[in-house]
Amino acid sequence: MGFPIHRPRRLRVNENIRRMVRETKLSVDDLVQPFFVIYGEKVKNPVNSMPGVYQLSIDYLVDEVRRAKDLGIPAVILFGIPEKKDPIASEAYAENGIIQRAVRAIKEKVGDILVITDVCLCEYTSHGHCGVVKKNEVLNDPTLELLAKTAVSHAKAGADIVAPSDMMDGRVAAIREALDAEGFKNIAIMSYAVKYASSFYGPFRDAADSAPKFGDRRSYQMDPANAKEAIKEASLDVEEGADIIMVKPALPYLDVVRMVKDTFPEVPLAAYNVSGEYSMIKAAAQLGWIDYDRVVMETLVSIKRAGADIILTYFAMEVAEKLQS
């Protein structure tokens, strides 16, 4: 029986009713705030393609992480910009590298907030690719050792979760084995299990100075046309020991987010609301084309509705403030 007995608008007539029957609720507990960290003191370099985002020296980073903690955000993820680069990304796993220093500073001066570290080589290699390169080919197996060394160095510095984003085959198993061998059995792995070769990463590459110097990353990141392949990639990472799996980017791949969550309901699922998604909203808002606050909230709710348990987003601190008000 339909209208007039059934009137769905009855449950939309005011905000209190809408709140009471709302199916998807965004919480500060869902959010992870990314940060870009750079050498120096009192450095706050704006990222021109990402309004409101900065490359921060460790002193400023500590202040921002403390603010994130005070807003109730449970975790941050760190991306480093090294002083020097070389073909084998030696700064990525250096004992006193930028990420290693940043983690130690946060743990000493902020304390009770989860620190996730991006485990990849692209920010640290002179060629800008995510692995060892020989004759313009990115080599999978030699890269695994360097990724494992990087993850262990982050764990030694105090990281709570390591997040490999390179998309090399077998890297979760290599990292898990290395962490366990060094006594870090309780360090979790948040795998970028389903990472597409997306054009939405452009502003991030400005922020992290990580654009490849030749070619592109389509030989190791996923083809945007493929969805079923996402299940294969996620399955392999879960089998290798990933504690959390991720889909990246989020908005163009909400169908994939839902597919992965339905296939692995017991595994926490993260989705990365990436730089291009962020920058498009910022740019449209600056032009007065959208209601900024409502679009931001609608964006994050859509990601959670699709199945994400965790949302990495540059909007995290802004949204946390709104959720508290």
Q: What is the mean pLDDT of residues 203-212?
A: 89
Active-site residue identified among 248, 261, 282, 304: 248
> Quick check: 209 pLDDT over 90?
no
Angle at 22 between CA 19 and CA 24, to 5 degrees: 125
The predicted model scores a pTM of 0.96
**Distance in angstroms (rounded) separating the CA atoms of residues 324 and 214:** 45
Where residue 255 falls among pLDDT bands split at 50, 70, 90? very high
Residue 135 region, left (φ>0) first, then alpha (ψ -120 to 50), else beta?
A: left
> Quick check: 325 pLDDT over 80?
no
CA dihedral 167, 173, 176, 178 (to 10 degrees): -100
| % residues pLDDT > 90 (the chain) | 94
Active-site residue identified among 69, 85, 149, 195: 195
**Distance in angstroms (rounded) separating the CA atoms of residues 267 and 214:** 36
User: What's the first-to-final CA gap in the chain, in angstroms?
Assistant: 42
Beta strand 269-273 pairing with 244-248: parallel
Distant-in-sequence, close-in-space partners of 180: CB < 8 Å, separation ≥ 6:
none
> Quick check: 188 pLDDT over 80?
yes
- What was the pLDDT predicted at 1? 72
Tokens of 11: 């449950």
Where residue 324 falls among pLDDT bands split at 50, 70, 90? confident
- What was the pLDDT predicted at 215? 85
What is the Cβ-side half-sphere exposure of residue 233, based on CA atoms within 13 angstroms? 29
- What was the pLDDT predicted at 111? 87
In what helix (H) or strand (E) does residue 148 lie, and over which residues does it extend?
helix 140-157
The dihedral sign for the CA sequence 106, 107, 110, 116: positive
Nearest of 285, 286, 256 to residue 271 by alpha carbon: 256
Q: What is the mean pLDDT of residues 124-152?
A: 95
> Quick check: 305 pLDDT over 90?
yes
List, for residues 41-75, the tens digit of each pLDDT value: 999 999 999 999 999 999 999 999 999 999 999 99
> Quick check: 210 pLDDT over 90?
no
Tokens of 153: 């160095």
Q: What is the mean pLDDT of residues 256-273?
A: 98
| % residues pLDDT > 70 (the chain) | 100
- What was the pLDDT predicted at 292? 98
How many of the other CB atoms lie within 10 Å of CB of 96?
A: 10
**Helix, strand or coil for residue 51?**
coil
- What was the pLDDT predicted at 214? 86
Strands (E) in 171-315, as ranges, are 188-195, 244-248, 269-273, 310-313
Where residue 213 falls among pLDDT bands split at 50, 70, 90? confident
Query: What's domain 27-324's architecture?
Result: Alpha-Beta Barrel (3.20)
- What was the pLDDT predicted at 31? 98
**Distance in angstroms (rounded) separating the CA atoms of residues 123 and 210:** 5
Task: Let me know if 195 is a catalytic residue.
Answer: yes
Nearest of 76, 153, 87 to residue 114 by alpha carbon: 76
Q: What is the mean pLDDT of residues 6-26?
A: 96
How many of the other CB atoms lie within 10 Å of CB of 21?
A: 8
Task: Let me know if 322 is a catalytic residue.
Answer: no
